[in-house]
Structure 1
Amino acid sequence: MKQKKIRVLTRRRWEYYQNRPAYTFCLLILVALFSPVTAHAADITEQLHNPTSKFVPRQARNEADTLFQIGERQLQQGTPHKAVQQFLAALETYHYLGDMRAQGLTYDLLGRAYLELGQYKEAEDAVRRHLAIARNNRDLGTQVFALNNVGSLLLQKGEFSDAETCFAEAAEIARSLKNIEGEGLSLSNLGLATARLGDYNKAIKLYETALTYRRQLGNPVAEANTYNHLGEAYQEIGDYQNTIGAFGVGLRLAKASRDRVNQFRAIDGLVTAHNSVGRYERSYELLGERLSLAQELQNPQEQLQTFESYALFYEKQGNYKTARNFYERAIIVSRSLEDSKKEVLLLDRLTQIRKK
């Protein structure tokens, strides 16, 4: 019997989530937007070891592959809560068939679905199962990316040392395989974990090494992401010339590839850096670029961030009247988004500058 080919989402999607800065990390918003059926780690185990149906192999294979493909499509369409149900159902059958490869692929996507839902415990359980299958099969190539997935979730949990260990192991395996993509990703993530641990100089060296592999790969999104990390590290040690240089390259690459996430990140980093050295005219230009992009994309969350950045820009220069105007505009958008936490913070800032 010829096994149906299962399509797989690109692994770079993980990198998109784990590398977003705190002020733009919006995964928790997805929890409010959707009403997922909660499926805990224990539920996965229970389903796998208690299959409810006994299909003949051909029927089982066809039905499981269909469920997997539906789940993949739902994940791509932005309905991860539906995708979770499909993946769990597919896993039940793949377990019954003893198809470890299919189980690994399904756990990979299941982890991503849980990540989009903000269910980090379940996501970690799924990606650790994916890693365990790769280890059991001695599949070193898959281990590289599975270790990066586990490390990325550990970063989100604040377990930086454990994340560093995962990324270091992934980098070592990728190096032994001469896997350019895996080595670039692993070193970039290792730099991120090292930066979170406070060793920015070491992180800078790791980012620079990672870039040599990312350039070879010819992936501008991955390259822009590492350049933005590099800019953040330079910013932490007060090296504004290199900060501006790194974010500048990141912005150029992001524009060329229409990578909006890294474009916003690079602009934000450049605004902060230019403000730090008194280049307010350039900061003003960049904020205008940011607002135009947010409006073009019809993205209210990024418009809110831009209005807040404008308000801070004018407040630091003592132009409180204009700062108040932008705080008020930000408050209006936060209300439209029903972001009460952000609204309270903005109202507090507005109250503070009204006293000045």
Structure 2
Amino acid sequence: MLKLVPSIALSLLVSSALAAPSFASSLNHQLRVQYNNGTQGSARQTADRIVESGIQAQRSGLLDQAIADWNRALDLYQQIGEIPAQGRVYDLLGMTYIQLNQLNNAENAFRRSLGAARDEGNTIRQIYGYNNVGQVILQRGQTVEAANSFAEGVRIARQAKHDAGLGLSLSNLGLATYAQGRYQAAIAFLEEARKFRDQAKDPIGAANTLNNLGDAYRAVGSFALAYAAHDRAMTLAQTGSDQAAQFRAFDGMMLANRGMGQENRFTEMLNQRLAMANRSNDAWQMLNSLKMVAQHQQQQGKLTAAEGYYQQAYSVAQRLNAAREQTFLREQLGFLRSRKFRWQAR
């Protein structure tokens, strides 16, 4: 049975929610790309229609069908030598493989997109390609290799004087450096990245960079600077209507308050997070919030209250069909009940 160390349990739980990857391009963006803007002819028109069929399948949740359609379209694009369309379809495939957690397939698709960008001489797509490849590698824990990919994105973006690409690449390089435990170096990359994010007028990207920066400042014990970074990230995430970044910023502010010894404020924010999750109607955030409150109650020795929150979290996990979460929560409930039994038997 898993037993959490009370003094670090909540920090571990919150930190586990902070590692969401930030790719250079999103699936929603790729779905909006217009395809019939290159070669002409019946083969091109057929390939474009197949791509659209795949997009409709993806939007209906039929991911395997979408992948099959896009691979058919790729065959046609390759036959007629339509390189830009190939690159965009590889990005569609890469993002969809990420959804399916098929990292090897995602990496292969993004590398092929990067190759297409080189073939067509598209500098901007090369920057994004190196970042997408790096993010997949980073998810596998290959931090040095990921940093090398991001550094290549930085190099090309500097040459092209492309603010958005430079901000993205520096931010991701900071993230990979942070993952290596090189916190001061990560802070340097992220501080530079935030300037270019601001210049590119990318509030969501800037929020992600600032959340990463807050994590790095917290890692070196600079809690006031961490709070300021997360606080600014919250404002930008609200501007960009990015709910995930808002929760991440809020969690960072909570941990910064705890680091500064403001335990009462930390407790208040835990309750605010629970209310925030309820208002957002986000079941996963509700699950995370209930687990955080339960662990905090457990740390305070309030075992009955902790059991109640864990039980609520378990109910949410059942609704989500989250098997791993259910296992974790059953272990916590069993641990609490055994402690209560031993205390009552004394």
TM range (shorter): 0.7 to 0.9
- Partner residue of 2:234? 251
Q: Does 1:230 align with 2:213?
A: yes
Q: Is 1:195 aligned to 2:189, yes or no?
A: no
Determine helix, strand or coil for the equivalent of 2:145: helix
| Counterpart for residue 261 of structure 2 | 278
* 1:144-172 Cα shifts (integer Å, max 9, x gaps): 11000100110011111111111101101
TM-score under structure 2 length normalisation: 0.83
Say which SS state the counterpart of residue 118 (structure 1) adopts: coil
Alpha-carbon offset, residue 251 of structure 1: 1.3
Q: Is the 8 A contact 2:271 2:293 kept in 1?
A: no
Partners of 1:161 and 1:68 lie apart in 2 by: 35
Q: How does 1:1-356 map to 2 (within 5 A)?
A: 22-23=16-17, 58-75=41-58, 78-354=61-337, 355=339
Greater alpha carbon shift after TM alignment, 131-140 vs 158-167: 131-140
CA distance in 2, matches of 1:238, 1:315: 25
Deviations 1:113-141 (A, max 9, x none): 11111111111111111111222333222
Amino acid at match of 1:242: L
Shift in Å at residue 78 of structure 1? 4.9
Partner Cα distance (1:208, 1:74) in 2: 41
| AA matched with 1:303 | M
Give the letter for the 1:80 counterpart: L
Contact 2:17–2:248 (8 Å) recurs in 1: no
Deviations 1:170-207 (A, max 9, x none): 10100010000000000000000111111000000100
Question: Bigger shift: 198-207 or 72-81?
Answer: 72-81
The offset of 1:312, in angstroms, is 1.5
Q: 1:335 to 1:26 in 2, by over 3 A?
A: farther
- 8 Å contact 1:144–1:174 — kept in the other structure? yes
Q: Which runs of 5+ in 1 are unaligned?
A: 1-19, 28-56
Question: Do the aligned partners of residues 189 and 86 (structure 1) sit closer, same or farther apart at CA in structure 2, a change above 3 Å counting?
Answer: same
The question of whether the paired residues in 2 share the 8 Å contact of 1:175 and 1:183 is answered with: yes
**TM-score normalised by length of structure 1:** 0.81
Q: Is contact 1:81-1:113 (8 Å) kept?
A: no
**Residues of 1 paired with 2:194 and 2:59: CA distance?**
28
Partner of 1:35: none
How far, CA to CA, are the matches of 2:270 and 2:68 in structure 1?
42
- Residues 284-333 of structure 1 show CA distances to partners (whole Å, capped at 9, x for unaligned) of 33233322332233222111110001112222223222222111111121
SS at match of 1:192: helix
SS in 2 for 1:158: coil
Report the CA distance shift for 1:213/1:75 in structure 2 as closer, same or farther (over 3 A): farther
Residue segments in structure 2 that go unaligned for 5+ positions in a row = 1-13, 22-39, 341-346
Going from structure 1 to structure 2, the CA distance change for 1:169 and 1:24 (only over 3 Å counts) comes to closer
Aligned length: 309
Matches of 1:21 and 1:353, distance apart in 2:
23
Contact 1:151–1:167 at 8 Å: present in 2 too?
A: yes
CA shift at 1:82, angstroms?
A: 3.1
Do the aligned partners of 1:231 and 1:244 also contact (CA within 8 Å) in 2? Answer: yes
- CA distance in 2: counterparts of 1:239 and 1:122, whole angstroms: 39
Shift in CA distance, 25/335, structure 1 to aligned 2, threshold 3 Å = farther
Partners of 1:22 and 1:251 in 2: CA distance: 19
**TM-superposition CA deviations, 1:67-118 (whole Å, max 9, x none):** 2233345445654333212211110110111111111111111111111111
